[in-house]
Amino acid sequence: MNDSSSHASTDKRSMAFQAAVNAPIRKIEKVKDAFGKEAPISEYFGCLTFGLGQMREKLPKDAYGNLIKTLEHGKKLPKETAEAIASSVKEWSVTKGVTHFCHWFQPMTGLTAEKHDAFISIQHANHSELRVIERFTGSQLIQGEPDASSFPSGGMRSTFEARGYTAWDPSSPLFIIEEENGKTLCIPTVFFGYHGQALDNKTPLLRSIEAISTEAVQFLKLVGDVDAKKVQTTLGAEQEYFLVDKNFAALRPDLLMTGRTLLGASSARGQQLEDHYFGSIPSRIKSFMQEAEFELYRLGIPIKTRHNEVAPSQFELAPIFEDMNIASDHNLLTMEVLKRVALKHGMVCLLHEKPFAGVNGSGKHNNWSMANDKGENLLEPGHTPHQNLRFLACLAVVLRAVYKNASAMRAAIASPGNDHRLGANEAPPAIISVFLGSLLENILNTIEAGKALKATEEQIIDLGVSQIPNISKDYTDRNRTSPFAFTGNKFEFRAVGSSQNVAVPMSFLNAAVAASFAESSEQLKDLLKKKKRDEAVMELIRLIVKETKAIRFSGNGYSDEWKAEAKKRGLPILNTTPDALEVLKDKKATQFLIDMKVLSKEEIDSRYHIAVERYVKTLDIEHTSLLELTSTYIVPALEKHMEQLGAAHESMSFAALKKSHKVRMAEFEEVFADVLARYEAFKNKVEKSRKGHDENKRMWEIMEDLQPASFKLRDAVDAAELLVADELWPLPKYREMLLAHNLA
């Protein structure tokens, strides 16, 4: 055999391996203080942002006052104020070297979009002379009109009115994106159609934040917080991700096309030793993290923790929680920064929920809570009996929200990527339930037993509820298999996928909680006619605890017993995206979104259509890639291996060897035959399915028929990988992609 030509693909693979192992560590210039030492984070934190703090400093007093009125009472921003803001924004940007600005928005593709314009305009100095000057007007700040026809609207907008508008969201800071050759000012905006329909994910989030505030304030007043004015929702989104050396990614068409590996046998050493979690971080990775964090700090994103995750090459970062709207924008920015900075370090950041089969997937734990205008966390057990009663009442409201809207919450996290993750290793199951921990379980059970019926402040203490203030200190109860877990002073929605825009699940959760506050307020009003306040609140808690019992689960979410038990309890079991998306067509299940004015019927329908279309397109791309990979990478490698086996066999004369070798050949031939047969079967199914025109039908067919066939093909190829000569295998292997960092 001619070695130099036949092993071209493996040469590439071993070169990639060499490159990955010998990758240089990239150094960055940090900010220096006056003495030339590295400046502390606090000195440059947020230096690339222009938010309320900077505006208070830089704007004329009345302009700033008007802006605050707009933010707090929804008053229209006067034109002069917009001009004043635009002018100080321009001045600040230009001194930072910014040349362009863009309206940064969140179309329903789940990513962010930007349209850039230069800060220039032409001035006529005199009849013949034109001059270019830097200019940025109030209306350019406030409103934009990107060509909306290129973004999905789910049929909401016919082409003759393809207008879409972006409008500045002043509650989220403006920020500068710095790249090697230029800087751009990004203006966070909402994106909507001619009739005010939301064409993005941010608009419903803002609506849901308002809904929760309105309904919670009403409820708090009834509970005794008569001066409550506003309730803020807070979010801390933990982000998991994988890093793979760029040289490997370049040799994996599946990673490039789909963000995950469609093929690949598990390596002998995966995560079974569980030694990666919190292990020491390889220095190449650490220098990547340090640069990513440096960028994020300058963008005002308060990253607090970094660590290895359970799988090799998997990592996590978590910010300090912030106001929901800002935290949501910050998570999108974080994902962008991670991807961009990884490339600078010669790596690709994979945000997909399941880049590698057989090892952990990635999630995004959404730590969620609510605070009143005094900054008190409503889900934090307090120091006084009243605070504890309020805590229990708010907790009950959340229980009711999840109990009543579990199916919609499942729909909010549905995606082809998350389908691979939910219910797998270390990921929560697809059944939504709430984990509270044994301490709270005991308290709720006591309340349910009626012992608290005539509760006064003293009796709450009698009940052992006075223990509650200790919860956050002593709270060690954890359940990694729960999709929605109480963790001391917040809930953690753990079923959210790593690549998702959190605005979607958060707006559904907020809407559910708002609706539950509304319902609970009505119920409490009735109870208040019969009982004193604290007794009425206690009775309300008892009623809700009883009503929502089915949603509480403390056991192992992975177990088959739980599936059976959940079914008995009547909880929705929606294992796949098609199952979950059906919820969006269910009038009863989505009514809370309409009632809370978070989404209209039309907007829900459009989101359903977009999700179906995205499911079909995503899997079409995966299936095309899998067929192509098999036919142009895998089968030729198997043929070569066959040839090599045959030649070796011919050269053998010792009978015993020849006999054993025949067994080896037979084993390989069987696997090879499997690959070809499954390839044919899968290809036929794909071709037939593509003839269908009804998207909904195709979605179901893909899930029920094509997906299983694609998994069967994958299994055969993965079995072949373990037999084919290593030097003939054309794709970087799992062990290379996942473990090379350890040598770097």
Residues that bind ligand ADP (CB under 6 A): 234-236, 238, 318-321, 367-369, 377, 487, 489-490
Shortest Å distance, C-beta 77 to ligand ADP:
30
Binding residues for Mg ion, rule CB under 5 A, total: 1
Using the minimum distance from each CB to ligand ADP, give the nearer residue, 234 or 500: 234
Shortest Å distance, C-beta 399 to ligand ADP:
18
Of Mg ion, ligand ADP, none, which one does residue 234 interact with (CB within 5 to 8 Å by kind)? ligand ADP
Helix (H) or strand (E) holding 7: none
Using the minimum distance from each CB to ligand ADP, give the nearer residue, 81 or 487: 487
Using the minimum distance from each CB to ligand ADP, give the nearer residue, 67 or 436: 436
CB-nearest residue to ligand ADP? 236
Using the minimum distance from each CB to ligand ADP, give the nearer residue, 367 or 577: 367
Of Mg ion, ligand ADP, none, which one does residue 258 interact with (CB within 5 to 8 Å by kind)? none
- Here the tokens at position 531 are 């009982």
Shortest Å distance, C-beta 687 to ligand ADP:
47
Using the minimum distance from each CB to ligand ADP, give the nearer residue, 323 or 613: 323
Using the minimum distance from each CB to ligand ADP, give the nearer residue, 238 or 254: 238
Shortest Å distance, C-beta 277 to Mg ion:
13
Shortest Å distance, C-beta 26 to ligand ADP:
27
Binding mask 303-342 for Mg ion (x = CB under 5 A): ----------------------------------------
Segment near Mg ion (CB under 5 A), from 65-73, 346-354, 358-366, 568-576? 358-366
Residues in a beta bridge with 493: 366, 484
| 3-state DSSP assignment of residue 714 | helix
Shortest Å distance, C-beta 293 to ligand ADP:
14
Using the minimum distance from each CB to Mg ion, give the nearer residue, 23 or 327: 327
First to last CA, the chain: 34
* b/e burial code for range 286-322 (CB count within 10 A of at least 16 → b): ebbbbbbbbbbbbbbbbbeebebbbbbbbbbbbbebb
Of ligand ADP, Mg ion, none, which one does residue 377 interact with (CB within 5 to 8 Å by kind)? ligand ADP
What is the rounded (10 degree) CA torsion for 659, 662, 667, 668? 150
| 110: nearest Cα among 149, 165, 152 | 152
Shortest Å distance, C-beta 318 to Mg ion:
7
Of ligand ADP, Mg ion, none, which one does residue 625 interact with (CB within 5 to 8 Å by kind)? none
Using the minimum distance from each CB to ligand ADP, give the nearer residue, 304 or 658: 304
Shortest Å distance, C-beta 234 to ligand ADP:
4
Using the minimum distance from each CB to Mg ion, give the nearer residue, 365 or 404: 365
Using the minimum distance from each CB to ligand ADP, give the nearer residue, 217 or 370: 370
- Concatenated DSSP letters of 175-200: EEEEETTEEEEEEEEEEEETTS-B-B
* b/e burial code for range 686-711 (CB count within 10 A of at least 16 → b): beebeeeeeebebbebbbeebbebbe
CB-nearest residue to Mg ion? 365
Using the minimum distance from each CB to Mg ion, give the nearer residue, 157 or 365: 365
* b/e burial code for range 415-426 (CB count within 10 A of at least 16 → b): bbbbbbbbbbeb
Shortest Å distance, C-beta 329 to ligand ADP:
15
Of Mg ion, ligand ADP, none, which one does residue 553 interact with (CB within 5 to 8 Å by kind)? none
Using the minimum distance from each CB to ligand ADP, give the nearer residue, 238 or 539: 238
Using the minimum distance from each CB to Mg ion, give the nearer residue, 365 or 542: 365
Of Mg ion, ligand ADP, none, which one does residue 321 interact with (CB within 5 to 8 Å by kind)? ligand ADP
Shortest Å distance, C-beta 267 to ligand ADP:
30
Shortest Å distance, C-beta 444 to Mg ion:
23
Of Mg ion, ligand ADP, none, which one does residue 630 interact with (CB within 5 to 8 Å by kind)? none
Using the minimum distance from each CB to ligand ADP, give the nearer residue, 321 or 403: 321
Contacts for 104 with CB less than 8 Å, ≥ 6 apart: 112, 113, 114, 186, 187, 188, 189
Of Mg ion, ligand ADP, none, which one does residue 489 interact with (CB within 5 to 8 Å by kind)? ligand ADP
| 3-state DSSP assignment of residue 423 | coil
Of ligand ADP, Mg ion, none, which one does residue 200 interact with (CB within 5 to 8 Å by kind)? none
Which residues from 360-389 bind Mg ion, rule CB under 5 A? 365
Segment near Mg ion (CB under 5 A), from 357-365, 495-503, 666-674, 683-691? 357-365
Q: How far is CA 36 from the centre of its chain?
A: 39
Of Mg ion, ligand ADP, none, which one does residue 472 interact with (CB within 5 to 8 Å by kind)? none
* The 3-state secondary structure of 36-95, one letter per residue: CCECCHHHHCCCCEECHHHHHHHCCHHHHHHHHHHHHHCCCCCHHHHHHHHHHHHHHHHH
| 575: nearest Cα among 708, 709, 364, 423 | 423
R_g of the chain, CA atoms, integer Å? 29
Interatomic CA distance for residues 368 and 487, integer angstroms: 10
Contacts for 440 with CB less than 8 Å, ≥ 6 apart: 395, 471, 486
Q: CA distances (Å), 572 to each of 181, 495, 670, 681, in order?
A: 51, 15, 42, 34
Shortest Å distance, C-beta 488 to ligand ADP:
6
Interatomic CA distance for residues 440 and 355, integer angstroms: 37
Interatomic CA distance for residues 479 and 494, integer angstroms: 11
Of ligand ADP, Mg ion, none, which one does residue 369 interact with (CB within 5 to 8 Å by kind)? ligand ADP
Using the minimum distance from each CB to ligand ADP, give the nearer residue, 12 or 480: 480
Of ligand ADP, Mg ion, none, which one does residue 490 interact with (CB within 5 to 8 Å by kind)? ligand ADP
| 3-state DSSP assignment of residue 492 | strand
Shortest Å distance, C-beta 50 to ligand ADP:
24
Using the minimum distance from each CB to ligand ADP, give the nearer residue, 318 or 619: 318
- Here the tokens at position 309 are 């995750």
Shortest Å distance, C-beta 178 to ligand ADP:
25
Shortest Å distance, C-beta 479 to ligand ADP:
12
Q: How far is CA 738 from the centre of its chain?
A: 22
Shortest Å distance, C-beta 365 to ligand ADP:
7
Looking at residue 628, the DSSP 8-state letter turns out to be H
Shortest Å distance, C-beta 303 to Mg ion:
15
Of ligand ADP, Mg ion, none, which one does residue 366 interact with (CB within 5 to 8 Å by kind)? none
Residues in a beta bridge with 232: 371
Using the minimum distance from each CB to Mg ion, give the nearer residue, 304 or 567: 304
CB 372 within 8 A of CB 220: yes
Residues in a beta bridge with 50: 174
* The 3-state secondary structure of 276-311, one letter per residue: CCCCCCCHHHHHHHHHHHHHHHHCCCCEEEEEECCC
Contacts for 266 with CB less than 8 Å, ≥ 6 apart: 357, 358, 359, 718, 734
| 333: nearest Cα among 373, 385, 293 | 293
CB 490 within 8 A of CB 379: yes
Contacts for 551 with CB less than 8 Å, ≥ 6 apart: 399, 402, 403, 406, 432, 433, 434, 571
Of ligand ADP, Mg ion, none, which one does residue 122 interact with (CB within 5 to 8 Å by kind)? none
Of Mg ion, ligand ADP, none, which one does residue 320 interact with (CB within 5 to 8 Å by kind)? ligand ADP
Binding site for Mg ion (CB under 5 A): 365
